[in-house]
Chains A and B, each alone.
Chain A
Amino acid sequence: MTDRHPDTPASLTIRDLRKSFADTVAVGGLDLHVEGGRLCALLGPSGCGKTTTLRLIAGLERPDAGSIELGERALTTAGTFVPPERRRIGMVFQDYALFPHYDVAGNVAYGLGRRANRGRVREVLELVGLDRVADRPVHQLSGGQQQRVALARALAPTPELILLDEPFSNLDASLRERVREDVREIIAAAGVTALFVTHDQEEALSLAERVAVLREGRVEQVGTPEEIYSRPSTPWMAAFLGEVEVLAGEARDGRVKCELGSLAVETKAEGTVEVLIRPESVAIGITGPPDATEAEVVGRRFYGHDQLVELRLPSGRKVSSRRLGFPAWHPGDRVQVWVEGPADVLPGS
């Protein structure tokens, strides 16, 4: 069996992509680079333009301006527009868009042209674990199986890039975890560059090697999941990903003073700053380190594996702390509060 994977997976480069519909700007100057072979997520709230971006990359829409290059080929520039059928980009739609009039094998073979290589079809079905249902009509499959058919269909013609539009949103929550893993393994095994779109933060952070966060048609921040989570570049980013507490602080010589104590942070900022602290970094205990602050527990939400504890600081300000599920804290408890873990600092406004 020949190795049909491209030797060097193609990289995707998008420059200043713009697209408007009537009076709404869907994509307003988007720049993105995805290295070959990487699994990248486009994350953003609804209406941020992520699906439009995907469709622009696939060639299903024409942009108003900007360029899209894949590997060495220019797919969309000011002077060229390669139609979708020639882009060699695989696409997995949110509702799978399987052909109801073909069986599983027929769907997968569709992208291989009129005389499809049976061997290739079998190979891909094995890759996704569906070789045994090759003859079934697609409507007889479960949601997870259908999704894998869609994936196999997109992978069969060895595309240079594969796009996935909210691939897991139609699955039961219980399935999702496992399916995500399977999909990630399949894509990794195929060695293809992949870009998927999602509004689910957990999905993006857990699956992707790179995450690009979109806001109103532009990339707000791009980086590894850890990077963007612990070092958000803007207040909006910080607020968007997970929860964050924003405290006023005074920075001097690499240390910041705020209501939760004096913190060492990597920053060159001086003077008034904003301190961004995740609830996971807010530690509470009966006793604490010397610079800990006193606080009272005023609320608690229990999630099984963790709990969110709401505290009131002496100033009256409330902060949240995310702790493991035990020991349990209760409203009225008097505790010590301090910061343990990354904190970020932004120039004060």
Chain B
Amino acid sequence: MAPRRPPVLLLLAGVAVGGLAALPAVYLAITIAGEASSAADAVFERRTLEVALRTVGLVAAVTVGAIGLAVPLAWLTVRTDLPARRLWATLTTLPLVIPSYIGAYLLVSAFGPRGALQGAVEPLGIERLPSIYGFVGAWLALTLFTYPLVLIPVRGALRRLDPQLEEAARAMGRRPAEIFRTVVVPQLVPAIGGGGLLVALYTLSDFGAVSIMRFDSFTREIYIAYQASFDRTEAAALGAVLVVAMLVLLALYARLRGARAYHRAGPGTVRPMGAISLGRWRVPALAFCGVVVAIALLLPVGLLVYWSTQQLGDGLALGSVVGNAGNSLLVASLAAAIGVVGATCVAVLTVRFPSPVSALVERLGYAGYALPGIVVALSLVFFGTRVALPLYQTLAMLVFAITVHYLPLAVGPLGAALLQVPPRIEEAARGLGRRPLEVFGTVTAPLVASGGLAGAALVFLHAVKELPATLLLAPIGFETLATDIWRQTSSGFFEAAAIPALVLLLIAAPPLYLLSEKGTVTS
């Protein structure tokens, strides 16, 4: 059946949202235009290609690593009789609250040449540990603190699996490992793909972790280009390459997802599955979970708590922390709320009225997420000072920038939830005399509410850690926890940053919990 045309208002809203989310990309285009040859030079330089390859390598490695961690953890915590499953489920999800730059710094503190581990093994005669810097460090920092982006949807998918498929395979005599590989994993592909996409895009755009780990990635090139040049053409050209990379990733993901419809024919209950017994694998499984949680969660948090207590001992003013926390909360909540509204327009457009236009709107929106924060920030400096001067450096513009940066995150869960609502139901409502907008409010919205919550939680989680846009666009004097941490660490007072960092984790934890309960991250 051919797709219908969307109502004009919705189309306009969706295009508006997509257009606004694409502002960073537009900024890049404008900056490059007119300097096309020098831009091309910058892109096709030998070193740029080297760095590009290296970055691609990192993205691939981190994505594979995150999936490699997340899928077994998900399976262990959902489908087996692992002791204290719920506890492990929560603990393994938590590392997502730790911003990658803090995580990277903590890893260096622990495993670096002057870190705690070095101190511990020196008496044993080990002079120098293998360096944590470079590719390994960057890979570790990014994998450890983004794998929950895959873990959460895979757990959700595992919970929704139909047991009959596996029972049929068992009846045909297949062993559990084989069943896992040939029956379970293929059903998990959408969840793995969606989470993997987010991890890949995050790695592309991350700056904090790679700079601490001294890994020469694309974002670092961009940052250095900004530092070094009179004109920002080179930086913009590199940013444009990132956008292209993102589009490629999205295309791959779209191919992977296929055009499946997910709505069920009618209400049905999934029979709960029996837990698979681990037997003698219990101890190794526990060890695996334990190691991951120890390095990705206990170690960073432990270090932060340790430093915090030291700071408290030194008599630190807590008042500013409360104020900054309030600001972080405010900005993140507003960004989450507005992001969900915008994402709803895009999701409805893409799911109910698919067309080349809606696909373009969705793809462009991801530009905000794939580009490093500094590019997003500068694009809004550019547009803000030219088009919306009265709003420049106000809270409104800051929230707008952060929303643009993270809005795509909300589109995923909303789209997934929308796919679960059969269009029939909306048609039934219309047949019963309600106008389309009423139908949306009384039928569609309540049914996708959980997707909306998940989207809001995702945006909140990222917005609360945001740094570059806040530095450039916040009203003067408006400090958040992230800017406070940055300020301390750039002065070298790393320990002083521990308390705001800890407060940041505390604020980020509830939305994360909400997210993991909903079990969906993307469609």
Give me the interface of A with B, judged by CB distance under 8 Å: 21-22, 58, 60, 83-91, 93, 95-101, 110-111, 113, 138-139, 146, 153-154, 157, 170
Contact = CB atoms under 8 A, between A and B. Distances in A.
Nearest to B426: A97
A278 B135 CA distance: 82
A22 B2 contact: yes
Interface in B418-477: 422, 424-425, 427-436, 442-443, 446-447
A98 B424 CA distance: 9
Interchain residue pairs A-B with the least CB separation, the first 8: A111-B432, A139-B267, A97-B424, A97-B428, A91-B431, A84-B430, A97-B425, A101-B446
B266 interface: yes
A60 B430 CA distance: 9
A97 B269 contact: no
B267 A85 contact: no
B266 A96 contact: yes
A113 B434 CA distance: 8
A100 to B, nearest CB: 6
B265 interface: yes
B432 A153 contact: yes
Contacts of A157: 432-433
A21 B447 CA distance: 30
Contacts of B434: 85, 110
B443 A99 contact: yes
20 contacts: A58-B427, A58-B431, A60-B430, A84-B431, A85-B430, A90-B431, A90-B432, A93-B428, A95-B265, A95-B266, A95-B422, A95-B424, A97-B427, A97-B428, A99-B425, A110-B434, A113-B433, A139-B268, A153-B432, A170-B266
Nearest to B439: A85
A21 B1 CA distance: 7
Given A110-B442, A154-B432, 20 more contacts: A21-B1, A60-B431, A85-B431, A85-B432, A85-B433, A85-B435, A85-B436, A86-B433, A87-B431, A89-B431, A91-B428, A95-B422, A97-B427, A99-B425, A99-B428, A100-B267, A110-B429, A111-B431, A153-B432, A157-B432
A83 B433 CA distance: 9
Nearest to B434: A85
Interface of B: 1-2, 265-269, 422, 424-425, 427-436, 442-443, 446-447
A89 B432 CA distance: 8
A97 to B, nearest CB: 4
A98 B428 CA distance: 8
B9 to A, nearest CB: 15
A139 B431 CA distance: 22
Nearest to B447: A101
A88 B430 CA distance: 10
Contacts of A87: 431
A153 B431 CA distance: 10
B202 to A, nearest CB: 34
Contacts of B430: 60, 83-85
A136 B431 CA distance: 23
A111 B439 CA distance: 11
A267 B431 CA distance: 47
A157 B433 CA distance: 9
Q: Which of B1, B267, B442 is packed against the most chain A CB atoms within 10 Å?
A: B267
Contacts of B443: 99, 101
A60 B266 contact: no
A139 B427 contact: no
Contacts of B268: 139
Nearest to B432: A111
Given A84-B431, A85-B433, A138-B267, A21 B2 contact: yes
A110 B429 CA distance: 8
A86 B429 CA distance: 12
A87 B435 CA distance: 12
B518 to A, nearest CB: 16
Contacts of A86: 433
Contact of B422 (A83, A97, A139, A153): A97
B383 to A, nearest CB: 39
Contacts of A22: 2
Contacts of B442: 110
Contacts of A96: 266
Contacts of A84: 427, 430-431
Contacts of B427: 58, 60, 84, 91, 93, 97
Contacts of A93: 424, 427-428
The residue in B1, B265, B269 that gathers the most chain A C-beta atoms within 10 A of its C-beta is B1
A153 B446 CA distance: 19
B440 to A, nearest CB: 13
Nearest to B446: A101
Nearest to B420: A100
A98 B267 contact: yes
A111 B442 CA distance: 12
A32 B446 CA distance: 39
Nearest to B422: A97
Nearest to A92: B428
Given A21-B1, A84-B427, A101-B447, A110 B269 contact: no
Contacts of B425: 97-99
Nearest to A84: B430
Contacts of A88: 433
Contacts of B429: 99, 110
Contacts of B424: 93, 95, 97
Contacts of A138: 267
Contacts of A58: 427, 431
Contacts of B447: 100-101
A83 B429 CA distance: 12
A58 B428 CA distance: 10
Contacts of B433: 85-86, 88, 111, 113, 157
A91 B433 CA distance: 11
Contacts of A95: 265-266, 422, 424
A143 B451 CA distance: 28
A122 to B, nearest CB: 18
A87 B427 CA distance: 13
A97 B265 CA distance: 9
A234 B429 CA distance: 40
A193 to B, nearest CB: 15
Nearest to A143: B266
